[in-house]
Structure 1
Amino acid sequence: MAKTFASTGDTAEKTITFAEIGEGLYAFTAEGDPNTGVIVGDDSVMVIDAQATPVMARKVIERVRTVTDKPIRYVVLSHYHAVRVLGASAYGADEILASEATRSLIVERGKEDWESELGRFPRLFQAAESVPGLTWPTMTFPTRMTVWLGKRRVDLIHLGRGHTAGDTVAWVPDSRVMFSGDLVEYHSACYCGDAHFADWPKTLDTLAAYNPRALVPGRGDALDSPKMVADGIALTRDFLTTLYDSVSESAARGLTLKQAFDRSREVMDPKFSKFAIYEHCQPFNVARAYDEARGLDHPRIWTAERDREMWEALQG
């Protein structure tokens, strides 16, 4: 019997945690569902990653209002994926901030990504009809910009390619806290369908050089100590290198995509099969790794049709 496509069979609601990881710094997490970061400054609030719909964003806003009544003036898009950005309109922010590379990816593939992600994981798009359209940044930057929340400094940094070509982290130097987006995951599979495998470990090295005291990953629990941060980075690196080493070896041997997928499961399942969304991610991850190993630097656009064709070919 064929496996249920992607995460269409995942209907179980997750328990939300809203944890303070530094003074005025919060992590909205939900057992492996996409995380949102919150930075409270002297005069305003910044949110990192918006959730998938305005209705889902209101769950974040409800938690923010338990700790501050300051206006939410900034929403940061760590990257372009629909599950991260389409709820942005709910915040009523003055500015929506993203890297220039992220905006270019929205232009190139934002609509296709929206349709693809909604079809893969409908539970994460509660009240999808509340999405007014694609989320467009109102301000972009090439590699770095600084935002002041009163006296509190937040650095938005495009460290390099990894999860996507446009990943942005938010760094709060007064507390040495990093909001990494999906560059780092914790006990969750990395989604690599739009990744750059050769660059991602180097980007992790650059991130680690900041020596964060705490870090909010894209998925999984907040990492509230230097040891947990190091563990999260190490787990992410191990996932990526194990995956890409396996698939690139298969590609070099001339194996088919299906054969590369089966081989990847042999080496990855023992270590990572219990990670959140592992089964969901693996077909997309192998497909992208196979492409990169064969010389395709720019990830192919995922469409709802391509998603299902690939899934059926690999899962049976």
Structure 2
Amino acid sequence: MAAQPFASSGDLAEKEQSLEVLADGVYALTAEGDPNVGAVEGEDFLVCFEALATPVAAGEWLARLREYTDKPVRYLVLSHYHAVRVLGASAFDAAVIVAHENTRALVAERGKQDWESEFARMPRLAKAPESVPGLTWPTLTFSDRLTIDLGGDRGDLVLQYCGRGHTEGDIVGWLPRHRILFAGDLVEAQAALYTGDAFHRDWAGATLDRVEALGADALVGGRGAVSRGPAEVAAAIGQTRHFLQVLLREVGAVQGRGGTLKDAFEASHAALRERYGRWPIFEHCLPFDVSRVWDELSGVERPIIWTAERDQEVWDQLQS
């Protein structure tokens, strides 16, 4: 296997962004496999979903959103704690920053290390990294469900915890009136999964079952195109589940026959490459994915903290 540039360090080409209006006052910004973001209009305020990696990157998204609405951002919803999702928060000037209670705990436990890790892995996303004022701290957390009344006849936005998945604290944003789901990184559409902080068995099972049970007609995943219609939504959820199941199967089989972590990586790469190999960040993610599955199947309940140094060690061992 040819040596690969570290993570996404060689991915420096700008991606084309597409702002889509999914319904009256419901917006999504996608970017060819870069992290997706969204917004929902309330009667006299905005709810924004995800913050991007830096205030400068977030400011560019907000400038596009301001072509459609000038309502102030009351709520900024963070689906989980990863740096490229949260460190642009200061650009929104949100009255309330919402996340799951586990996400707040994860920021305290490993937010600084994750910041250094992700900016080294994905330097193109970290536009003007000096503009980040510090860690992003939620100001409102919940454990199961939080409902935001959008006012007037706009209905509700339901924020829901579906269980452990991409991290311990992922939440989704559900608009029952429009049957639109902002799924965060619990679902990807035509983009490979990053699972280095995941709980694969929970995610592939009960967590995705709960996401699927919502019955969305449109789904904005963490990366990739918007899924429109029940068939595309089902395909995105199914692809996510399949990726996780293959990882569990291949790593488990290698462990069962007494193989090594390198053997597990090579088996997983061979099993996934044909279907997923050309999708964004596949080569970047897989060493970290396999490392976490290996730990999980070895009885390591919670993910080991990724540091810039550990990132490089795992990369050198598996992908170089």
| TM-score (norm. length: structure 2) | 0.97
Q: Offset at 1:3?
A: 2.1
Residue among 154, 163, 167 paired with 1:164: 167
CA displacement at 1:2 relative to structure 2:
3.6
Q: Kindly indicate whether residue 275 of structure 2 is the aligned counterpart of residue 283 of structure 1.
A: no
- Residue matched to 1:59: 60
C-alpha separation between the residues in 1 aligned to 2:168 and 2:53? 20
Q: Among residues 200, 209, 224, which one is paired with 2:228 in the alignment? A: 224
Q: Partners of 2:24 and 2:236 in 1: how far apart?
A: 22
1:112 aligned to 2:113?
Answer: yes
Q: In structure 2, what is the Cα distance between the partners aligned to 1:3 and 1:278? A: 11
Helix, strand or coil: the match of 1:114? helix
1:87 aligns with 88
Gaps of 5+ in 1: none
Mapped partners of 1:39, 1:196: distance in 2: 29
Equivalent in 207, 210, 213 of residue 209 of structure 1: 213
- 2:240 paired residue number: 236
Aligned mates of 2:228, 2:21 — CA distance in 1: 9
Q: How does 1:89-168 map to 2 (within 5 A)?
A: 89-151=90-152, 152-168=155-171
TM-score scaled by structure 1?
Answer: 0.98
Distance 1:61 1:190 in 2: 26
* 1:48 aligned partner, one-letter code: F
Query: Are the counterparts in 2 of residues 21 and 222 from structure 1 also a CA contact under 8 Å?
Result: no
Q: Distance in 2 between matches of 1:251 and 1:73?
A: 49
Answer whether contact 1:80 1:105 (CA < 8 A) is retained.
yes
Aligned amino acid, residue 57 of structure 1: A
Partner of 2:36: 35
What letter corresponds to residue 169 of structure 2 in structure 1? G
> What CA deviation, in whole Å up to 9, does each residue of 1:69-107 have, x standing for no partner?
111111001000000000010000000000001111111
Q: Are 1:192 and 1:285, in contact at CA under 8 Å, matched by a contact in 2?
A: yes
Q: Which amino acid aligns with 2:74?
A: R
Distance in 2 between the 1:170 and 1:203 partners?
A: 14
Query: CA offsets, 1:86-145, max 9 Å, x none?
Result: 001000000000000111111110000000001111001010000000000011001111
Amino acid at match of 2:72: P
Question: Does the 8 Å contact 1:23/1:175 carry over to 2?
Answer: no
Deviations 1:258-296 (CA, angstroms, capped at 9, x unpaired): 111111111111111011110000000000011111111
SS at the partner of 1:134?
Answer: coil
- Of 142-151 and 157-166, deviating more is 142-151
Unaligned 5+ residue runs, structure 2? none
Structure 1 residue 43: Cα displacement: 1.2
Contact 1:44 1:73 in 2 (8 A): yes
Question: 1:15 offset after TM fit, Å?
Answer: 0.3
Q: What's the CA shift for 1:49?
A: 0.5
Residues 1:195 and 2:198 aligned together: yes
2 CA distance for matches of 1:248 and 1:295?
12
Residue type matched to 2:164 in 1?
R
Aligned-pair Cα RMSD in Å: 1.0
Identity %: 52
